Amino acid sequence: MSDEVNSSGAALVEQGDDPADGWFPESVAAGYDGPGGANAPEVVTPAVDVLEDLADGPVLEFAVGTGRIAAPLAARGVRVSGIELSRAMAARIASKPGGDAVDVTIGDMTSTRVVGQFSLVYLVFNTISNVTTQDAQVDVFRNAAAHLRPGGLFLVEVGLPDLRRLPPGQDTVPFTVAPGHEGGGYVGFDQYDVVTQEFTSNHITVSPDGIGRFRRIPFRYAWPAEMDLMARIAGMKPKYRWADWDRSELTADSTKHVSVWEKDQALGALG
């Protein structure tokens, strides 16, 4: 069954999906690990290299998903735990090389606690933006700090909002427009509310016979400086800020950042 669209414009889950799995139910999880894209070795390996380098003991991935990053990191001998909202996503971790060593807790990264003190907590692939209020994003930073030992690190990888591509009076930025060779095609666009910092990513797929599918996923963006304040509220201070996993310098033209904060040496485990 195709997605239906409710009155708020959000896509409803497909038949067989568990609403408790949020935006990543079975119908999404089933296609998440396809080859290429975010699963390509040239995308995964640089991230795992940096995380392995920063790890100095057990690590915790917030929103661990299907173990795209956690499983190969565990395969290198790092002790990896994960928190994940979607059972459908988490169910796929154990089948990957290294994945059976990942200790997964189903829960919300704004509040779920797992046992242990970690050298590194990390949250990659834009997922801080899946948390759609400032308060809840602060809770993510607080929860990260609560899991870190003094001097431990919190790493976030997230895209920068494309606001410089918004002409005056417009709120929408297309990121892919791809007509199909046989008809139909795909259009993807982000729609921004620059007052609330909420935005949606919208995906319209039309089959060659003209049948459409619309998915609309809510996000909230926060500038790196706002994240520095969130980190400070949580007892952490900036340590590294890169434009990508290659540790290149962040510039005005960067499209994403990889930022790392360090928990204050004087703070023990919180909360």
CB of 134 to ligand SAM, least distance (A): 14
> Interface residues for ligand SAM in 92-121 (CB under 6 A)?
108-110
Options 127, 137, 200, 259; binder of ligand SAM; rule CB under 6 A? 127
Neighbours of 20 (CB within 10 A): 11
CB of 210 to ligand SAM, least distance (A): 30
The piece of 12-20, 79-87, 97-105, 250-258 that touches ligand SAM (CB under 6 A) is 79-87
DSSP for 239-253, written as a single string: EEEESSTT-PBP-TT
Q: Applying CB under 6 A, which of residues 50, 131, 145, 227 lies at the interface with ligand SAM?
A: 131
Strand segments (E) across 137-266: 148-159, 172-179, 185-193, 198-206, 212-220, 236-242, 256-263
Q: What are phi and psi of 182, to 5 degrees?
A: -100, 10
Q: Give CA–CA dist 115/147, Å, rounded.
A: 8
Bridge-based pairing state of the strands 236-242 and 212-220: unpaired
Least distance (Å) between residue 20 CB and ligand SAM: 10
Nearest approach in angstroms of CB 237 to ligand SAM is: 24
Decide: is 143 part of the binding site for ligand SAM (CB under 6 A).
Answer: no
Which stretches of the chain bind ligand SAM, using CB under 6 A?
Answer: 22, 24, 63-65, 68-69, 83-86, 89, 108-110, 124-125, 127, 130-131
